[in-house]
Amino acid sequence: MTHMDTSWMEQEDTVDSTPVSVYLWIPFIWYAIAATRSITFWVPGSGNRTGIDLSYTEGSSVDRAIYSVLIAAGIWVLIRKRIPWSHIARCNMWVIAILVYSLISMLWSDFPEVLFKRWVKLFGSIVMSLIVLTEPAPVEAISTLLRRCFLIHIPLDIVLVKYFRNIGVGWDDMGIEMWTGLTKHKNVLGQVCMVGGLYFIWDSVKKLGKRRCLVNIFYLAMIGYLMNGPGGSRSITAILVLFIGLLIFFGLRFAPRDKDLLNRFLIKGAIALIFVMASIQFGFSAFTGDRSLVDVTLKASGKDTTLTGRTELWEDILVYASRNPVQGVGYGSFWIGDQANNLWERHYWKPKQGHNGYIDVYVELGMIGLVLMGGLLVSVFVNVRDAITRDFEFGRFRMALFVMVVIHNFAESSFLRGDNDVWFIFLLVAMNMGFPASEGVPETSSLIESAT
Per residue in 217-260, pLDDT (tens digit) is: 999 999 999 998 876 667 788 999 999 999 999 988 888 777 77
Per residue in 209-218, pLDDT (tens digit) is: 778 889 999 9
Cα separation, 331 vs 366, whole angstroms: 10
In one letter, which amino acid is 316?
Answer: D
Per residue in 9-52, pLDDT (tens digit) is: 333 343 444 578 899 999 999 999 999 988 887 776 554 544 44
DSSP characters over 341-391: HHHHHH-TT--SS-S-HHHHHHHHHHHHHHHHHHHHHHHHHHHHHHHHHHS
What DSSP state is assigned to residue 92? T
Per residue in 298-343, pLDDT (tens digit) is: 454 455 545 555 778 888 888 888 888 999 999 998 888 767 667 7
What DSSP state is assigned to residue 105? G
Instruction: Give the max Cα distance, the chain.
Output: 70
Cα separation, 71 vs 33, whole angstroms: 13
Decide which of 244 and 2 is more confident: 244
Contact (Cβ atoms closer than 8 angstroms) between residue 46 and residue 62? yes
- Of 112-116, 263-267, 331-335, where does mean pLDDT reach its minimum? 263-267
CA-nearest of 244, 196, 254 to 402 is: 244
Calculate what percentage of the chain has a pLDDT beyond 90: 47
pLDDT at 280: 57
- Of 114-123, 124-133, 275-284, where does mean pLDDT reach its minimum? 275-284
pLDDT at 378: 92
Side-chain-facing half-sphere of 193: CA atoms under 13 Å? 36
Per residue in 406-439, pLDDT (tens digit) is: 999 998 899 999 999 999 999 999 998 765 433 4
Mean pLDDT calculated for residue range 76-92: 90
Phi-psi domain of 234 (left: phi exceeds 0; alpha: psi -120 through 50; beta: other): beta
Chain centroid to Cα 148, Å, comes to 17
Calculate what percentage of the chain has a pLDDT beyond 70: 77
Per residue in 334-370, pLDDT (tens digit) is: 888 767 667 777 776 677 888 899 999 999 999 999 9
pTM of the model: 0.84
Domain spans in the chain, listed from the N-terminal domain onward: 7-46+60-257+303-451
Cα separation, 132 vs 146, whole angstroms: 11
